[in-house]
Amino acid sequence: MAKWAGCRSDWAMFGRFECLATDGGPPFRDEFEDAVRHCRSGRSLPDQDPRMRGTIESFFRLFRRLCRYFTGQSFSNVVEKGDYEAEEMASLVFEGLVRAAIVFIVDSYHHRKHRGLGGRTPYAVWNEARG
């Protein structure tokens, strides 16, 4: 994926998750639950308190930061959208967003020092764990 997205760094990270944390929303029912069971992985539903979901909340903060680089916006309904010309203001399609997210994670996020990792980068920690 890193090569496909045009990243400068390699991305040797891989593995199967042991436990996936989601909220209880409709996208995470039925078929999703079946897929998690098929992967032989666990699933947890964290407390409603955002402070108990630090990893995903941190990702959303970083993702909002990434989205600031692009023009245009979407709305939750047509009334809110009003006369805004979303199609004319769009600066990328979904594939472009996926590529941008991969480049951000591989070339920026994994090479930035993290307090939770003792000031080390996720890239360095992964390589240390691999031996």
- Domain 2-130 class, CATH top level: alpha beta
- The pLDDT of residue 102: 92
Q: How far apart are CA 105 and CA 63, in angstroms?
A: 10
Contacts of 131 (CB under 8 A, 6+ apart): none
User: Is residue 97 packed enough to be buried (19+ CB in 10 Å), middle (13-18) or exposed (0-12)?
Assistant: middle
Residue 5: both structure tokens together: 């997205």
* Averaged pLDDT in 10-residue chunks for the chain of 131 residues: 94 79 82 87 76 73 79 77 81 85 91 92 91 75
The DSSP 8-state label assigned to residue 110 in this structure reads: G
What are the structure tokens assigned to 86, written together?
Answer: 């979303």
